[in-house]
Amino acid sequence: MASEEGRDTLNSLPSGTLFPPDKPRLEESGCPGNQTWMEGMEQKLACVPKGNPTPSLVCTWNGVIFDLQMPQKATQNHTGTYSCTATNQLGSASKDIALTVEELNEDILSIVVILIAALGIGIFTLALYFNYLPCKIERRKSPYRQTEENQEEGSQFAVQAETCNTHDMTVI
């Protein structure tokens, strides 16, 4: 037998609410109690409440409502404890979230940039090598190495050398 209070709660649910109705929950999987952001990166506080109907969520930090929809550029000022409350017609649930903002290690960033640059130079060098490889294999003369004495011979190699000087990066 259902109590009068339970019946009133069920009657207050919006139409179309899937059953069974469920009180709000802030589970660790959807709302971790410890979160870490990297300084300077765009971040959002990760907290997704569960319940039926879907609970609304409000998080505060130092007594001020924190915007959960808008990504924030992480700074050391964001470090602290956030209090989140999920609410629906069946009740509410609260949870504190400890947020830590870590400094971006500039040494690691420098190493990554250097590695990417070196990789790019290596790929470019290989592409040039394989582009001009057919010229070396067939022992063709490039036009800039020809002397005035070989003008006649140069005209016959001009057509062949033209294919060696293309920059389409394909291997023939």
DSSP string, the chain: ---HHHHHHHHTSPTT--SS-EEEE--TTTS-SEEEEETTSEE------EEESPPEEEEEETTEEE-SSS-EE--GGG-EEEEEEEEETTEEEEEEEEEEEEPP-HHHHHHHHHHHHHHHHHHHHHHHHHHHHHHHHTTPPPGGG--GGGHHHHHHHHHHHHHHT--S----
Is it the case that residue 168 has pLDDT exceeding 70?
no
Question: What's the predicted TM-score (pTM) here?
Answer: 0.53
Which of residues 109 and 23 earns the better pLDDT score?
23
What pLDDT digit, counting tens, does each position of 123-167 carry?
Answer: 888 887 777 766 666 655 555 555 554 555 555 555 555 555 555
Sorted by where each begins, the domain ranges of the chain are 17-102, 106-164
pLDDT of 10 reads: 55
Domain covering 17-102 in this structure, CATH number: 2.60.40.10
pLDDT of 111 reads: 76
